[in-house]
């Protein structure tokens, strides 16, 4: 009898918890929009304004904060709790019963309501709560090592040798917890250089982003970029600056975490952040009525994916781990990695081979490639919350490893736009000409990406010019009049000669229509000089 009563109570608790619905309430307007846009320093930091101007990003209504009077009034409505807000969407995330939430539509300032419960994936399933970091937090027995392989794999070590270590680039890290980052020795160098800027816990609504010890996932993620132990461990962007935002609640899985993430992205934008790194992904929830399906992973359905796309529109380069669902029935990337606007990172092992847990591209990503590229995520080296160098599995680490590498690259080409930087990264990758759903465009070579960027940016060297670059059908070459004749050679990425001929006159046009898409070397030489350039065939 006691057992039956206990089961009944558990059933009632479950039913009651599902009676509380989550929804996004979209508002009709914002206060003083024109005045705020005309005086952007009232709503953005100067760094944010400068970044937008540098990349020709306009300041618009989405930068204006949500009307706080509306939020205050919503909090007084029967049964309603406001959990998060978004200026980009002019919306708030609320929780309450279906009846109480629907009643909000009668308010004059409410435009429309979007429930998280869209009745997707309502078939029966296991009631076990998914642990998104279960794979990643599994410690592997190892002989002590360092980060050499994961750094060299993407060739960011060559950038470090040239003093491109991420300095001047600001990265916002969105994750589930950052315990001990403010005290442990692995981040002492970061703190001493004042690179640890600030943080906020959007889940517990506290400025102490280091307080939550539910998960140390964010600490490990950050270490792959910013960690430093003399002669033992070097992250891929040790001199970048970092904001830390906790947006993931490790104790539960609810769509409000998507709203926390978007709110954090908006704060990152207002602070002038250059990059966002996130190793989070959303597919299924504690309440199955909120679940997404693989067909929803098209960048247009999930709230977080739409928010990530806006972040890119605002001039932020967003790097997202693809997910760890490759060996599961789900298989494809989750949100926000499904957004076509973000750079989604899959995982390989130390030998550059695909690891089975890395999420793959799927049918929902029509017209674009996912993952975009890959980096080491199999047995990657991290520093844990106890300041111990260890190895973990997961795209949660391939994403930040590459994010830090891209920060070092961007330092070297500061005038490049986020989209241009992403294109250089893709074009430098090992299988750019033959991408697939496992590795995307492959493993990037960031030193090659830098050389490509510089060759495109500096098309004129000592009166030598070649244009256009990238090229489609015809490549024009101009060289000084004092040189009557030059030998021209074109090489593919394998070092094979594709074309060799002698050219004369001041200007010469080379037919490139039959070349395959990819990266080529152009060598011009005579008895007196030798010049080599890179160009891209579209």
Q: How far apart are CA 538 and CA 534, in angstroms?
A: 13
Q: In terms of C-beta density within 10 A (0-12 exposed, 13-18 middle, 19 or more buried), how is residue 363 classed? A: exposed
The pLDDT of residue 161: 87
Give the CA count within 13 Å in the CB-facing half-sphere of 109.
Answer: 16
In the prediction, which pLDDT does 485 show?
75
Q: What is the predicted pLDDT for the residue at 320? A: 98
Count of beta carbons in the 10 Å neighbourhood of residue 109: 14
Q: Rounded to an integer, what distance in angstroms lies between the CA atom of residue 502 and that of residue 364?
A: 49
Give the per-residue pLDDT at 528. 65
Phi, psi at 497, each rounded to 5°:
-75, 125
Q: How far is 135 from 378, CA to CA, in rounded Å?
A: 10
pLDDT given for residue 211 in this prediction: 92
Q: Which residues, at least 6 apart from 276, have a Cβ–Cβ distance to it below 8 Å? A: 171, 172, 173, 174, 265, 268, 308, 311, 316, 317, 318, 319
What is the Cα–Cα distance from 533 to 521, expressed in whole angstroms? 6
Contacts of 436 (CB under 8 A, 6+ apart): 361
The question of whether 175 is a catalytic residue gets the answer yes
Residues of the chain with pLDDT under 50: 1-17, 120-129, 134-135, 137-144, 457-462
Q: Which residues contact 537 (CB under 8 A, 6 or more apart)?
A: 470, 471, 472, 512, 515, 516, 517, 518, 519, 520
Spell out the domain ranges in the chain: 2-115, 148-454, 458-537
Distance CA 137, CA 380 (A): 11
What residues pair up with 503 in beta bridges, in sequence order? 486
Q: What is the pLDDT of residue 15?
A: 44
Residue 76 DSSP symbol? H
CB 413 within 8 A of CB 454: yes
346 to each of 118, 275, 432, 439, 440, how far by Cα in Å? 29, 18, 15, 7, 8
CATH code matching the domain that covers 148-454, chosen among 3.40.50.11540, 1.10.3720.10, 3.30.465.10, 3.40.50.200: 3.40.50.200
pLDDT at 9: 43
Spatial distance between the Cα atoms of 65 and 86, rounded to a whole number of angstroms: 8
**Catalytic, out of 176, 279, 396, 408:** 396
Classify 143 as helix, strand or coil. Answer: coil
Known active-site residue 55? no
Residue 340 in contact with residue 320, Cβ under 8 Å? Answer: no
- DSSP for 188-232, please give it: HHHHHTT-EEEEEETTTTBS-TT---S--HHHHHHHHHH-EETTT
For 290, the token pair is 């909120």
The CA–CA distances, whole Å, from 223 to 166, 216, 230, 261, 358 equal 14, 11, 14, 21, 21
User: Distance between CA atoms of 54 and 52, rounded to whole angstroms?
Assistant: 5
Beta bridge partners of 21: 96
pLDDT of residue 43: 93
Q: Which of 512, 522, 502 is nearest to 475 (CA)?
A: 512
Interatomic CA distance for residues 348 and 325, integer angstroms: 14
Catalytic residue among 22, 63, 157, 175: 175
pLDDT of residue 506: 54
* Fold of domain 458-537: Immunoglobulin-like (2.60.40)
Give residue 429's Cα distance to chain centre.
17
Annotated active-site residue in 160, 215, 216, 217: 217
279 is catalytic: no
Contact 489, 461 (CB under 8 A): no
Torsional sign, CA 321, 310, 174, 248? negative
pLDDT at 505: 63
If one counts every other C-beta atom within 10 angstroms of the C-beta of residue 470, the result is 15
């Amino acid at each position: 009898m006691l057992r039956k009563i206990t089961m009944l109570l558990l059933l009632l608790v479950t039913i009651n918890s599902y009676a509380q619905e989550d929804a996004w309430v979209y508002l009709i307007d914002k206060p003083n929009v024109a005045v705020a846009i005309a005086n952007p320093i009232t709503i953005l930091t100067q760094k944010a304004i400068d970044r937008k101007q540098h990349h020709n990003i306009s300041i618009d209504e989405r930068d204006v904060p949500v009307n706080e009077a509306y939020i205050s009034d919503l909090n007084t409505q029967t049964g309603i709790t406001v959990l998060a807000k978004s200026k980009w969407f002019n919306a708030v995330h609320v929780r309450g019963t279906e009846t109480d939430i629907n009643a909000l539509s009668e308010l004059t300032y409410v435009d429309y309501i979007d429930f998280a419960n869209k009745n997707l994936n309502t078939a029966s399933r296991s009631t076990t709560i998914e642990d998104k970091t279960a794979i990643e937090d599994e410690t592997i027995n190892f002989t002590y090592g360092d980060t050499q392989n994961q750094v060299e794999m993407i060739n960011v070590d060559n950038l470090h040798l040239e003093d491109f270590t991420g300095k001047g680039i600001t990265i916002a890290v969105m994750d589930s917890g950052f315990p001990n980052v403010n005290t442990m020795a692995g981040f002492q160098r970061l703190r001493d250089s004042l690179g640890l800027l600030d943080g906020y816990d959007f889940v517990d609504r506290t400025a102490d982003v280091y307080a939550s010890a539910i998960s140390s996932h964010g600490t490990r993620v950050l270490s792959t970029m910013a960690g430093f132990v003399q002669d033992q461990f070097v992250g891929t962007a040790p001199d970048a600056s970092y904001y830390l935002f906790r947006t993931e609640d490790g104790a539960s899985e609810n769509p409000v975490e998507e709203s926390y993430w978007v709110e954090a992205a908006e704060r990152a934008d207002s602070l002038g952040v250059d990059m966002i790194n996130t190793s989070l992904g959303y597919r299924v929830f504690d309440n199955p009525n909120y679940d997404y399906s693989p067909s929803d992973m098209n960048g247009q359905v999930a709230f977080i994916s739409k928010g990530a796309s806006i972040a890119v529109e605002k001039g932020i380069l967003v790097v997202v781990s693809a997910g760890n669902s490759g060996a599961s029935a789900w298989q494809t990337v989750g949100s926000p990695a499904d957004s076509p606007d973000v750079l989604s990172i899959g995982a390989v092992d130390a030998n550059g081979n695909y690891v089975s847990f890395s999420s793959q591209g799927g049918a929902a990503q029509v017209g674009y490639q996912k993952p975009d590229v890959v980096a080491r995520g199999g047995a990657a080296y991290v520093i844990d919350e106890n300041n111990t160098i260890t190895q973990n599995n997961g795209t949660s680490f391939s994403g930040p490893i590459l994010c830090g590498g891209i920060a070092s690259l961007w330092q070297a080409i500061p005038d490049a736009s986020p989209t241009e930087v992403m294109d250089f990264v893709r074009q430098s990758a090992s299988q750019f000409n033959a991408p697939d759903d496992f590795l995307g465009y492959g493993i990037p070579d960031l030193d090659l990406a830098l050389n490509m960027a510089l060759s495109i940016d500096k098309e004129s060297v000592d009166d030598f010019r070649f244009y256009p670059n990238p090229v489609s059908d015809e490549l024009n070459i101009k060289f000084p009049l004092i040189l009557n004749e030059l030998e021209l050679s074109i090489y593919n990425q394998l070092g094979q000669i594709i074309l060799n001929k002698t050219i004369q006159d001041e200007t010469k046009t080379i037919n490139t229509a039959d070349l395959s898409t990819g990266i080529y070397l152009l060598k011009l030489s005579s008895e007196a000089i030798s010049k080599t350039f890179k160009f891209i065939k579209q």
